[in-house]
A and B are shown apart, each in its own frame.
Chain A
Amino acid sequence: MKATPRVEDDKKAKVPNDISSFRVWRKRLVEAANKHRSWTIVISMAIGSVLLYFWAAFPPFSFVQSQNTWISGFVNAGVFILLALGLNIVVGFAGLLDLGYAAFFAFGAYLYAFGASPFTHLHLPFLVLLLGGAAVAAVFGIALGAPTLRLRGDYLAIVTLGFGEIVPIVFLNAEKYTQGTNGIGGVDRPNIFGFVFPGIDQTAYYVLMSMVVTIVLILVYRLLDSRIGRAWAAIREDELAAAANGINTVTTKLAAFALGATTAGFAGVLNASKLTIVDPTQFLFTVSFTVLAMIVLGGMGNPLGVAVGAFILYNIQAVLLKQLNAVFDNLNVPVLQDIDFVKFQFLLFGIALVLFMMFRPEGLIPSQRRRQELHSADAESSEDLALIAPEAGEVAL
């Protein structure tokens, strides 16, 4: 850091004044943003949300679909942003691969459906259920994590994969309590202090979602820089060394797991209250996979990157692929008009995931530390090094 100002000084001497003052201002802005990050998040989320909201009414947005459809889509994207931010705590911060993340999403959604629907004749307050859904998801996260997090890292991947597969099956089979495939319909729309969210105009959802995403972003960034955030990084980079330095690896990993599940619980409640129906097909493996692809594309470990990745990928999935169909149909392009691009969605996600993992594992907007980790591993992989010092290859593992 100390070297930077001198470089600035050198440049200041050479370049004209107006550009240098621009640089100085930019630098000040970046410094201020780093210093007051929570406020930066609040302000930029506010500006971003307002801009998106009104832009959706003007071209080129308005050519594609109506403003309300866009807003509704942004709310859905918000659900995925929450999921991605939560999974990022588990995969990106703590380095644990959770392949059944949709299960926790399901717990939040079903809790809301049980707490506020004609099916159970309960109509509990929305905010209570929002916290309740998160809490239930966290409890299940701990219940699943406690026995398995003691084990080798890759067992966790398969246990969570199984868990994610089983949870929808249980909700599907326990027909008496969940109405099986039909799902629980007619779920209440949010009611916050007497204000019931309207169904057609999605603005209220949009505002709520922007607020929740803002809060979660702030919390996640604060977690990243906290003591536990550093403990996660240590575990991710070298679990044995972390343990040797006095980190309780099991509880730290469990905390990551529980916090990730909590975020999914929030997302589940919000999603259920928006769709007003909850059924097992909303929580299949494809959801877990999509969220994983989002964080890999966005930049594992970097909340901003992950949120942007989720937003982009959701819109590719929900808008772009459908539009491609419409465009090629209208233009009567010979081969392309017969292709249903939506069908290729998950194939494309899979290919994108693999390509990113192979060629740009740090994602579109990388986290600095993560990038160094991923690339230092490459440097050590040369065969000569491995042969001369067998330990060198092991360190990276």
Chain B
Amino acid sequence: MTAVAAPATVSTVRQRPPWAIPAIAIGLVVSYFFILTFFLGLDARTHDHASEIAVQQVANALSIGAIYALIALGYTMVYGIIELINFAHGDVFMMGAFLAVLFTGSGIGPFPGILHLSGPVTDVVPLLLYMAATLAVVMPITGLLNMTIERVFYRPFRNASRLAPLITAVGVSFILQNVALVLFGSGDRGAPQIFPIAWRIELLGASIPVLNFVILIIALGLMFVLQTFIRRTRLGRAMRATALDQQASKLMGVDVNQTIALTFLIGGALAGAAGTVWGFSFGFVRQDLGFNAGLKSFTSAVLGGIGNITGAVLGGFVIGFIENFAASLGLTRWAEFSVFVALTLVLVFRPAGILGQQVGERA
């Protein structure tokens, strides 16, 4: 059938000026701040401290948004390159969170921990070393896990019917979730919060945990590295080429299998980073963590325009805002509902997402 243009994974043509994305991002943060202040001001309970609470909540929203954005990158890259919703991706994130807990803590059930940390580490240098070591251990493992999943479960379906790989992906997700259930048990498992929550910065009248900034910096740093990798390196160019047209890149000498494996490796590593950060931030992990986080992150990817890397990051933050907005107004239980409503609305009114291009139905 007509080869419909692949969703521009990593758009080769830059139509926007370089300052557009930072401008959009800052605009989003600022407008979210004002909207939130306005709504908090309406409520008698929060009326007096509306702007302080809003600053606080914006910081929270940014750090959870950063986690969603990191996961969303994996969805969007994989979708861009092989047009598959990798349902197992959220569970790779969950596995990353468990691995980070195993590495830093003193073990879960029969599995021994490695660093045996339990509380905050208050010296800066060891703290940074621990965090870097955790990321350095977790990211390659989840990357390899994701790559193995591709190799074993998805590659046989490369040219098969559309439904088969999707169903397999759902199955793989379920397997991972239940492997975690069998290995680690159900319910919340404590994660060592090695970053001191007590460290706070006074900003605009609110005191914000330094951790929020650290998460944001880690996430943005990884995203910057990813962007540079895709824009500037040979392998990155191979990824862009494969996303645009697999057959043609094969003819041009791109090793398509290797490129796809690399995409899964990177996506998995980013999900691992997100999992690590999750544990530091929330202090617990659970075997069904991946399901919800995966759903929200996929929503982020769709919101930003699936296949579009910058879009996925923006989408992650927007989802963070939406979820945080419901929570700030005391509707925590409806947070997921609002995210889902957002997904449906986006699909109805702008299926291509914020930054995406219109993509036709694939035959």
Residues on A lying within 8 angstroms of B by beta carbon are 91, 95, 97, 99, 147-148, 151-155, 157-159, 161-163, 165-166, 169-170, 173, 238-241, 285, 289, 292-293, 296, 343-344, 346-347, 349-351, 353-354, 357-358, 361, 373-374, 377-378, 380-381, 386-387, 390-391, 393-397
Contact A357 B164 (CB under 8 A): yes
Contact A169 B164 (CB under 8 A): no
Chain B residues near A351: list those with CB within 8 A.
171, 175
CB distance from B358 to the nearest CB of A (A): 11
Chain A residues near B1: list those with CB within 8 A.
238, 240-241, 391, 394-395, 397
A97 to B171, CA, bound (A): 13
Contact B161 A289 (CB under 8 A): no
A158's partner among B2, B3, B250, B295 (CB-CB below 8 A) is B295
Given A170-B337, A357-B171, A358-B168, A393 contacting B163 (CB threshold 8 A) = no
Judge if B144 is at the interface, Cβ distance under 8 Å.
Answer: no
10 contacts between A and B (CB under 8 A): A147-B348, A158-B298, A165-B292, A169-B337, A347-B182, A350-B172, A350-B174, A354-B153, A390-B3, A393-B247
Contact A154 B85 (CB under 8 A): yes
Given A158-B298, A159-B347, A394-B3, A165 contacting B170 (CB threshold 8 A) = no
B340's partner among A155, A163, A358 (CB-CB below 8 A) is A163
Chain B residues near A99: list those with CB within 8 A.
170
Contact B163 A91 (CB under 8 A): yes
A97's partner among B166, B178, B247, B334 (CB-CB below 8 A) is B166
Contact B363 A239 (CB under 8 A): yes
Overall SS of chain B's interface: helix
Chain A residues near B333: list those with CB within 8 A.
169, 173
Contact A152 B361 (CB under 8 A): yes
Contact A349 B167 (CB under 8 A): no
A347 to B299, CA, bound (A): 26
Contact B161 A374 (CB under 8 A): yes
Judge if B302 is at the interface, Cβ distance under 8 Å.
Answer: yes
Contact B172 A169 (CB under 8 A): no
Chain B: which residue is nearest A172 at the CB level?
A: B333
The 3 closest A-B pairs by CB, nearest first: A347-B178, A350-B174, A381-B159
Contact B164 A239 (CB under 8 A): no
A99 to B362, CA, bound (A): 21
A27 to B161, CA, bound (A): 35
Contact A152 B359 (CB under 8 A): yes
Chain B residues near A293: list those with CB within 8 A.
171
Contact A377 B161 (CB under 8 A): yes
